[in-house]
Amino acid sequence: MIYSLENIDAKAYEGDMIFLYGDECAERRLPLGRKELELVKRKRGEAESAKGFAVSFDRLPSRLYVVSFDSERRGAEVQEVLRRKAAEVLKMMERDGVRRVALSGEGTLPEEVAAFVEGLTLADYSFDRYCTKERYHVEELAIDSVFFSQEELEAQQRLWNRIFWCREWVNLPVADLNAVQMAEELQGVAEGFESVKCTVMDKRKIESLRMGGLLAVNKGSVDEPRFVVLEYDGRGAKAKGEKPIVLVGKGIMYDTGGLNIKPDDYMQEMKSDMAGAATMASVVFAAADNALPVKVVALLPLTDNRPGFNAYAADDILTMYDGTTVEVVNTDAEGRLILADAIAYAVKNYDPRVIIDAATLTGAAVRAISTYGIAAMQTNAEREMELLKIVGEEVYERLVEFPMWEEYDELLKSDFADLRNCGTTPQAGMITAGKFLAHFAKEVPYVHLDIAGVAYFTKGQTYYRAGASGYGMRLLYGYLQLVNS
């Protein structure tokens, strides 16, 4: 989609147009005829103001799409309504064959317009790489220049572009994006920045580091593992001398479950098990794109989990990067093993201000809160969690915090090693996964984000089509914007 800013006179504009109507005080400025205005006013009276509505008018040879909403409601709620209405309008435009459209409004704030454009952009994405028939997409969007400066629009575009590429990586099948190829992709992107350093560690280097979790999970695969480190040194005085924020992303390029192989209906869509790594890499690149004044490091352990060759097995005992021994109870609890090595590496090598991980880690997270948010936990990171919650409410990538009580440690005790990689009971599976990882963070402030329910949607919902969502990127980018303010 090509975005542009134009001086748009809504009443005189002759092409296809979307008009946002948020405040009844702006009624006299609506670009509507008498009967059209009567219809909008009637529907506005009938509709639930919290949900708003969208209606299309035929203005041969063009069309007008009016989006009505209540601008008096809480800002974050209004913005989410507009993202969702944007997805509805997109369906109308596809039905009408409209590919170039202008956007204007009255009684509308710049942040509300930005939310609508964001919703339209996220909804317009689909994974088309393997489709032989052309799919519908908006080609051009002209936005009334009263709402944004060119600089503001371009900053948003850069973030949306990173979300696009995050979704592309997650949607790619492992046949075309394995650990080695993903590392090459990340290295190629990093080369475009002076401010981002990319270090790719191959299997020999990983062996020298004795990352027992990453190496064990990789034993069943024909493809080598990789451990990728992205370091962004933010430009600006605020970033100088700061401890880095370390982002850790689960990079299981495909998860069969290993020797504890998944049944058919759980194997589908396991290409998305590297969404955490794609998310954290994309957040670093977005921060670099817009020169955020922070220091950020992303640690990305990459491998697939297969049952071939000399695959690791239940009852194996692994020695992790920090020397912790782990009894393997289930080879399908592999994500926490590779994350544990990365978290321990962060503690030893970066003296982090906070460690935040993102992982499609447990089905328990989906069962707990469905596909409506992120299951979150923290140790020693109350302030960071509160900031993330605040941002999550604003961008509508919401967090639900679960406890990390010490009693849960009992479920990870092993008779044969320091820890088990799974709890002794099926209960609290999401929390025990978080507790397992917190062991490796030691006393460093640590936040765990289980994105299993939101990273990939089997069926489209709200402003996401089926497939990867990029969910969590706007949350973490907003956190990086806020953290030094």
Within 13 A of 55's CA, how many CA atoms are on the CB side? 17
* CA pair distance 286, 157, nearest whole angstrom: 10
* CA pair distance 457, 455, nearest whole angstrom: 7
Which residue among 99, 158, 235, 262 is the active-site one? 262
Sheet of 62-68, strand order? 2-6, 140-144, 100-106, 17-21, 62-68, 53-59
Is the pLDDT reported for residue 238 higher than 60? Answer: no
* The two structure tokens encoding residue 152: 């503001």
* CA pair distance 93, 308, nearest whole angstrom: 49
Q: Which phi and psi (to 5°) does residue 211 adopt?
A: -85, 85
E strand residue ranges, 125-225 = 140-144, 196-201
Helices (H) and strands (E) counted in the chain, each on its own, are 14, 20
Tokens 């890499």 — which residue? 281
Is 161-482 the same fold as 2-148? no
E strand residue ranges, 43-195 = 53-59, 62-68, 100-106, 140-144
* CA pair distance 472, 276, nearest whole angstrom: 9
* CA pair distance 445, 385, nearest whole angstrom: 10
DSSP label at residue 224:
P
Q: Has 262 been annotated as catalytic?
A: yes
Q: 220 with 258: CB under 8 angstroms?
A: yes
Which residue among 219, 336, 420, 474 is the active-site one? 336
DSSP label at residue 191:
T
In CATH, what number does 2-148 get?
Answer: 3.40.220.10
Q: pLDDT per residue over 310-346, tens digit each?
A: 999 999 999 999 999 999 999 999 999 999 999 999 9
Burial of 68 (0-12, 13-18, 19+ CB in 10 A): buried
Q: 358 with 247: CB under 8 angstroms?
A: yes
What pLDDT was estimated at residue 48? 64
Pairing of strands 295-305, 245-249: parallel
Burial of 35 (0-12, 13-18, 19+ CB in 10 A): exposed
85: Cα separation from own chain's centroid: 21
Q: pLDDT per residue over 418-456, tens digit each?
A: 999 999 888 999 999 999 999 999 999 999 999 999 999
Is the pLDDT reported for residue 47 higher than 70? Answer: no
Q: What is the mean pLDDT of the chain?
A: 94
Q: Has 336 been annotated as catalytic?
A: yes
Q: 215 with 337: CB under 8 angstroms?
A: no
In CATH, what number does 161-482 get?
Answer: 3.40.630.10
Q: pLDDT per residue over 353-389, tens digit each?
A: 999 999 999 999 999 999 999 999 999 999 999 999 9
Inter-axis angle of helices 275-289 and 179-190, nearest 10: 10
What's this model's pTM, rounded to 2 decimal places? 0.95
Tokens 């709620």 — which residue? 77
User: Where residue 237 falls among pLDDT bands split at 50, 70, 90?
Assistant: very low
Domain residue spans of the chain: 2-148, 161-482
The C-alpha angle with vertex 196 and arms to 193 and 199, in degrees rounded to 5, equals: 120
Cα dist. 357→186, 240, 264 in Å?
Answer: 18, 24, 28
Q: pLDDT per residue over 266-310, tens digit each?
A: 898 999 999 999 999 999 999 999 999 999 999 999 999 999 999
Q: 106 with 26: CB under 8 angstroms?
A: yes
Q: 256 with 306: CB under 8 angstroms?
A: yes
